[in-house]
Amino acid sequence: MKICRGPIGIVLAALMFAAVSATLSMPSGAQQAQTAQVVVVHGLRGFVADVYVDSKVVLEAFRPERVTDPLSLPVGEHLIEVREANAPATAKPALSTKIVLAAGERVSAVAHLGSDRKPVLTVFRDNIKPVTRGRSRLVVRDAAAAPAFDVLLDGRAVARNVTSRGQSESEVSANQYKLSLVAAGNDLAPSQNVPLNEGTVNFLYLIGSASDDSLGWLANKVDGVGLPPAAVQTGNSGLVGGQPSFPVVPVTSLLGVALCAGWWLRRSSVARSAQLEPALERSGIGTGSRRQGNGPSGRARRR
């Protein structure tokens, strides 16, 4: 009790106050940003799965060639496990991986065939930063048992030598493209028409196996990563009158009235000119204020 009254008490109180106000003023956005998003992609044909996160099942009977909605998880380390559907939660998982999540990021956990044709779980970091206006981001990921390939859009290479569990990322003009993969000069998989819309990120996964001719595609599109046009410029000639225009009519008529009144006063008071001097001075100030009021620059100069 005694300590609270002395200078130490004051310091303690001040520290507590500072701590409390710091806590209160912490933006709620900072707390919200302490999460990340995880998307699970199923690229293993013929395998129905239960998905576990940190030993809890989050999705049952997850069928192949599907993708989950984004799952929000706190930042930090998490355990992703995949078991065969209806397998007990204690059973050894078919696939598992640890992921470390940073605030605000999005990752994709992909179950697929590795280069040795065995199932594997790969974690990709997703670039969902805004796309340049008028463009679209294409991310091709190798989630198949296939030789290294080049990625071509309308016959033009946008990436070379993509290998298993690797990816290629490119930003292209928004358009419909013919996507083809070439390995050692030959088409690896049938060409596909891909709509790459403005302001989207398109994650494309090559899945399956080249050796049994089962290569195929999965796609996961993220919308709303574009920017609207910055401006609309639709005139350069000034044919349309300014709006609002300078109030010419009211200002000139009011000044006219003032001038007439001043003139009448002056005419009527030649004999008493000595008394009227202050009045003329004031009317002079009034005229001056019009000039200063003519534009913001005039005001600024005055200050």
Q: Which of residues 162-221 bind another protein (CB under 8 A)?
A: 174, 176, 192, 194-195, 197-199, 202, 204-205, 217-221
Q: Is 278 in the site for another protein (CB under 8 A)?
A: no
CB 126 to another protein: min, Å = 10
Residue 145 CB, shortest distance to another protein, in Å, is 19
- Taking CB under 8 A as the binding criterion, the range among 1-9, 116-124, 141-149, 260-268 that sits at the site for another protein is 260-268
d(CA 71, CA 79): 14
Among 228, 278, 302, 303, binds another protein (CB under 8 A): 228
Strand 35-42 relative to strand 106-113: parallel, antiparallel, unpaired? parallel
CB nearer another protein, residue 147 or residue 262 = 262
Segment holding 51, helix H or strand E: strand 49-53
* 149-153 vs 156-162, strand pairing mode: antiparallel
71: nearest Cα among 87, 85, 52, 84:
52
Find the shortest distance in angstroms from Cβ 118 to another protein: 22
CB of 287 to another protein, least distance (A): 8
For residue 239, the Cα-to-chain-centroid distance in whole angstroms is 39
What track of x and - describes contact with another protein for positions 133 through 162 (by CB under 8 A)? xx----------------------------
Q: Measured from the CB atom, is 68 or 170 closer to another protein? A: 68
**Distance separating alpha carbons of residues 291 and 124, to the nearest angstrom:** 66
Q: What residues numbered 16-45 form the site for another protein, per CB under 8 A?
A: 31-32, 34-35, 37, 40-42
CB nearer another protein, residue 51 or residue 144: 51
User: Nearest distance from residue 100's CB to another protein, in Å?
Assistant: 16
Nearest residue to 219 (alpha-carbon basis) of 248, 197, 245: 197
* Binding window for another protein (CB under 8 A); candidates: 11-19, 60-68, 143-151, 158-166: 60-68
- Please, what sign has the CA dihedral across residues 268, 270, 275, 278? positive
Selection from 103, 135, 139 nearest residue 124 by Cα: 139
| Cβ(45)–Cβ(113) below 8 Å | no
Minimum CB separation of residue 37 from another protein in Å reads 7
Phi, psi of 274 (to 5 degrees): -60, -40
User: How many residues line the site for another protein (CB under 8 A)?
Assistant: 97
User: Can you tell me whether residue 212 is helix, strand or coil?
Assistant: coil
The residue type of 70 is P
Work out which of 5, 236, 300, 303 binds another protein, going by CB under 8 A.
236
